[in-house]
């Protein structure tokens, strides 16, 4: 159809069609202009440019790859790999070659860098926290809107004053564009990266977050350490001094020191940025795209066979894998049971996309093994399917399964009760009375081999639930072998009723102690104190009644060098759940020993018969000096009247012999003599 053949209505229809599409595209460009989406748009333009030139130059492979990417990968890739695609397209749309610096701009950049460096150094020395984001190619409009408009000429004084503590705008980030402070108190997105050190605060996370989604350069001054850090492209540079900071800013903000070729590319990239920001450029490009889109649709509708003239595969065939598809067993014989059947398999289908989509969504097919013609024994059987379209090729993993068919057996077993849930109840020492189970027995069906392995059948009961009203009506049944392995068998009924009372038993016992070892000669024991003086045991009432007292706490005096508080385990008798407390504090009080001597203490004689007389040979008299060791207070009150020294001559006959000296005195005082025995004669 030529233009001459078009009537006015058709022309108006075409114009309206193109105008509406142009309006939508133009509005879309207007919305994303000034945001980081502009960089994505640049990347899309690059991809479309490659596709356009590959069509003109008839680069079949490139054309096919781009077509596949646009046709099949657009939606899936954006959904699955959105962060990566965003970063990749931004890299196509930005980079060092999209920056341009004239001589006047370089001077302005140097002034900007000087102001930023001076301000950061000032705040670093005084530990004033700051967060400064410098806009580059990616627009920052959405973050500017979260703050307060400033639009002031960038100077070190203004920048520093914003971050002075308690200043109205000191919280949040300052956004700088060229040599202008655009806004302050702005909110930046926090990074969710798990690799950021936990010692870094919110400023550093915000700086990392904005560097991950834009090409902005962000500076951070820590108010804790005064360290200066910088982020760009998701990288963190820490502990920058003045020279490092200046070099970084010169490198990132003034790339004009490159080659002439890079400057040429910089000019072109900057011009492209200016064009995109121009409303007229946006309108013209939108109109061009609208006309191109209309032409493409019209040509496709008029001649769908046009695509056969170029090498563009349709890609109508696709592959999809469905995981965890249930595997069914087809066995009509009731006298058999089957072991070794996996619960699920994976099914892969290949064919037309539309048929695959319907099959995957509905899953109205069966995957099964047919065992009807097989008898008892081990078998390798194929995994079959039914209900899948003949247009699809089907592959099942695994293709075969090894199964065992055994004769079915049924037995009755009594039900035991297994209680759990002490922690949930809040008491680890809860006990249930003898439970009443109904029914007392259950029927268990399985293979003969499995049934022969049955050792115990248990009803699993929660003490928490049982404590509420004393009865559980649906306690599940579990079947185990002698090693405690759960068996896969059929239980009828699968639940039972359990009735029991839940109680908590405890009894208190006094704590005692037993001393062992000897104190150092320079120390004297003042006393032993227990805290607490009793402990509570938890267990069955029958076992608690059997316990009369606890074993004493063992205290070794040989390890005591000063007054000490020991933590000693409370002994727990067998058959008892636990003791509370588990340990007791034992204070062993000692004092420095004072040594003294009691002179001429009389030696008494025990068990001397009336018709006998005793004569002391060594010593010549029945007197001896006694060494005493104790505290000063004890020794002040001590006299020979408090000391008894004696020998026992029971059973001795006439003649001379040695008799052992025995000493006794107040508790806490150690007694000794230079000689351990005396020489006497009985006549």
Structure tokens at 220: 């951070």
Evaluate the CA torsion angle 194, 198, 200, 206 in order and state its sign: positive
Element (H, E) at 507: strand 506-510
- Report the top-level CATH class of 103-253: alpha beta
Q: Is the pLDDT of residue 526 over 50?
A: yes
| Per-residue pLDDT, 254 | 73
Work out the average pLDDT over 307-329: 66
527-564: pLDDT as tens digits:
889 999 999 887 777 788 888 889 999 999 888 888 89
User: pLDDT class for 32, splitting at 50, 70, 90?
Assistant: low
Instruction: Match 């402990």 to its residue by tokens.
Output: 535
Average pLDDT of the chain is 79
CA quadruple 112, 117, 119, 123: dihedral, nearest 10: 160
| Per-residue pLDDT, 273 | 53
10-20: pLDDT as tens digits:
778 778 887 88
**Coil, helix or strand for 579?**
strand
Contact of 463 with 421, CB cutoff 8 Å: yes
CA quadruple 280, 285, 291, 297: dihedral, nearest 10: -150
Contacts of 280 (CB under 8 A, 6+ apart): none
Comparing 126-130, 150-154, 290-294, 489-493, which segment has the lowest mean pLDDT? 290-294
DSSP 80-140: HSHHHHHHHHHHHH-SGGG----HHHHHHHHHHHHHHHHHHHHHHHTT--EEEEEE-SS--
Contact of 43 with 85, CB cutoff 8 Å: no
Q: Is the pLDDT of residue 386 over 70?
A: yes
Number of Cα atoms under 13 Å in the Cβ half of residue 47: 19
Comparing 142-146, 266-270, 329-333, 364-368, which segment has the lowest mean pLDDT? 266-270
Comparing 72-81, 152-161, 323-332, 565-574, which segment has the lowest mean pLDDT? 72-81
Structure tokens at 345: 């398999």
Work out the average pLDDT over 82-87: 50
**Coil, helix or strand for 231?**
strand
Element (H, E) at 407: strand 400-414
Query: Among 577, 572, 575, 625, which residue's Cα sits nearest to residue 597?
Result: 625
Q: Is the pLDDT of residue 5 over 50?
A: no
- Report the top-level CATH class of 415-504: mainly beta
Contact of 463 with 432, CB cutoff 8 Å: yes
Most confident of 135-149, 250-264, 275-289: 135-149
| Per-residue pLDDT, 88 | 46
Number of Cα atoms under 13 Å in the Cβ half of residue 253: 27
CA–CA separation, 589 and 560 (whole Å): 9
| Burial call 412-439: b when 16+ CB within 10 Å, e when fewer | ebebebebebbeebebebbbbeebebee
Work out the average pLDDT over 183-201: 83
| Per-residue pLDDT, 552 | 93
Q: What is the DSSP letter of 575?
A: T
Number of Cα atoms under 13 Å in the Cβ half of residue 620: 0
- Report the top-level CATH class of 317-407: mainly beta
Q: Which CATH number fits domain 594-682: 3.40.50.720, 2.170.120.30, 3.40.50.150, 3.40.50.980?
A: 2.170.120.30
**Helix 260-277 and helix 37-56, axial crossing angle in degrees, nearest 10:** 110
440-455: pLDDT as tens digits:
899 888 888 888 888 8
Angle at 291 between CA 289 and CA 296, to 5 degrees: 95
CA–CA separation, 137 and 267 (whole Å): 13
Structure tokens at 191: 């990074």
CA–CA separation, 184 and 186 (whole Å): 5
CA–CA separation, 512 and 310 (whole Å): 100
Query: Which residues in the chain are classed under CATH 2.170.120.30?
Result: 317-407, 594-682
Q: How far lies 676's CA from each of 599, 624, 648, 653, in Å?
A: 16, 11, 13, 21
User: pLDDT class for 229, splitting at 50, 70, 90?
Assistant: very high
Domain topology for 506-592: RNA Polymerase Alpha Subunit; Chain A, domain 2 (2.170.120)
Q: Is the pLDDT of residue 630 over 60?
A: yes
Q: Which residue did the predictor score with more confidence, 347 or 69?
A: 347
User: pLDDT class for 78, splitting at 50, 70, 90?
Assistant: low
Evaluate the CA torsion angle 467, 468, 471, 473 in order and state its sign: negative
CA–CA separation, 596 and 110 (whole Å): 92
| Per-residue pLDDT, 119 | 92
Instruction: Match 């025990």 to its residue by tokens.
Output: 606
466-496: pLDDT as tens digits:
766 778 888 888 899 888 888 888 888 888 8
Instruction: Match 């890079």 to its residue by tokens.
Output: 262
User: pLDDT class for 183, splitting at 50, 70, 90?
Assistant: very high
| Per-residue pLDDT, 30 | 63
Query: Which residues in the chain are classed under CATH 3.40.1700.10?
Result: 103-253
CA–CA separation, 118 and 293 (whole Å): 53
CA–CA separation, 470 and 465 (whole Å): 8
**Coil, helix or strand for 181?**
strand
Q: Is the pLDDT of residue 363 over 60?
A: yes
CA–CA separation, 443 and 454 (whole Å): 12
Instruction: Match 């070892």 to its residue by tokens.
Output: 517
């Amino acid at each position: 159809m030529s233009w001459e053949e078009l009537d006015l209505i058709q022309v108006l229809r075409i114009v309206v069609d193109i105008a509406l599409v142009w309006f939508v595209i133009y509005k879309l460009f207007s919305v994303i202009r000034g945001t980081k989406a502009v960089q994505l748009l640049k990347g899309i333009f690059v991809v479309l440019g490659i596709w356009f030139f590959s069509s003109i130059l008839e680069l079949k492979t490139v054309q096919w790859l781009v077509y596949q990417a646009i046709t099949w990968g657009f939606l899936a890739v954006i959904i699955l790999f959105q962060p990566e695609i965003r970063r990749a397209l931004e890299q196509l749309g930005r980079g060092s070659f999209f920056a341009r610096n004239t001589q006047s701009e370089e001077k302005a950049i140097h002034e900007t860098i000087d102001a930023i460096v001076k301000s950061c150094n000032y705040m670093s020395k005084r530990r004033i926290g700051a967060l400064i984001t410098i806009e580059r190619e990616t627009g920052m409009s959405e973050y500017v809107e979260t703050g307060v408009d400033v639009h002031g000429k960038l100077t070190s004084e203004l920048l520093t004053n914003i971050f002075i503590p308690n200043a109205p705008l000191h919280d949040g980030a300052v956004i700088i564009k060229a040599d202008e402070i655009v806004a302050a108190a702005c909110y930046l997105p926090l990074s969710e990266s798990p690799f950021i050190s936990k010692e870094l605060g919110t400023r550093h996370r915000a700086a990392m977050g904005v560097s991950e989604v834009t090409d902005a350069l962000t500076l951070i001054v820590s108010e804790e350490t005064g360290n200066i850090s910088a982020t760009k492209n998701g990288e963190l540079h820490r502990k920058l001094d003045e020279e490092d900071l200046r070099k970084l800013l010169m490198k990132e903000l003034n790339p004009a020191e490159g080659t002439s070729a890079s400057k040429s590319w910089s000019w072109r990239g900057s011009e492209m940025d200016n064009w995109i920001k121009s409303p007229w450029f946006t309108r013209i490009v939108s109109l061009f795209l609208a006309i191109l889109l209309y032409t493409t649709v019209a040509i496709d509708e008029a001649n769908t066979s046009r695509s056969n003239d170029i090498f563009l595969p349709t890609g109508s065939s696709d592959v999809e894998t469905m995981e965890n598809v249930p595997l069914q067993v087809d066995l009509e014989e009731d006298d058999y049971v089957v072991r070794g059947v996996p619960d699920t398999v994976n099914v892969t289908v290949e064919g037309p996309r539309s048929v695959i989509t319907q099959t995957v969504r509905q899953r109205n097919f069966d995957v099964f093994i047919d065992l009807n013609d097989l008898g008892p024994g081990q078998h390798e059987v194929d995994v079959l399917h039914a209900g899948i379209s003949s247009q699809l090729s089907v592959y099942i993993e695994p293709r075969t399964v090894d199964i065992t068919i055994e004769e079915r057996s049924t037995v009755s077993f009594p039900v035991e009760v297994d209680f759990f849930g002490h922690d949930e109840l809040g008491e680890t020492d809860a006990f249930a009375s003898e439970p009443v189970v109904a029914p007392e027995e259950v029927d268990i069906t399985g293979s003969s081999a499995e049934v022969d392995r049955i050792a115990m059948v248990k009803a699993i009961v929660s003490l928490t639930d049982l404590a509420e009203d004393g009865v559980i009506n649906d306690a599940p049944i579990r079947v185990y072998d002698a090693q405690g392995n759960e068996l896969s068998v059929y239980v009828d009924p699968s639940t039972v009723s359990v009735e029991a009372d839940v109680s908590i038993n405890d009894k208190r016992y006094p704590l005692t102690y037993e001393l062992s070892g000897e104190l150092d000669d320079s120390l004297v024991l003042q006393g032993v104190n227990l805290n607490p003086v009793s402990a509570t045991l938890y267990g069955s009432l029958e076992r608690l009644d059997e316990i009369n007292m606890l074993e004493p706490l063992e205290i070794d005096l040989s390890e005591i060098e000063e007054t000490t508080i020991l933590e000693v385990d409370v002994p727990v008798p067998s058959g008892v759940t636990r003791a509370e407390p588990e340990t007791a504090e034992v204070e062993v009080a000692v004092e420095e020993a004072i040594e003294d001597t009691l002179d001429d203490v009389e030696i008494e004689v025990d068990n001397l018969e009336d018709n006998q007389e005793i004569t002391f040979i060594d010593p010549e008299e029945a007197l001896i000096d006694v060494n005493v060791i104790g505290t000063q207070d004890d020794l002040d009150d001590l006299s020979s009247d408090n000391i008894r020294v004696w020998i026992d001559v029971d059973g001795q006959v006439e003649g001379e012999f040695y008799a052992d000296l025995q000493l006794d005195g107040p508790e806490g005082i150690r007694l000794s003599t230079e000689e351990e025995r005396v020489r006497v004669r009985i006549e």
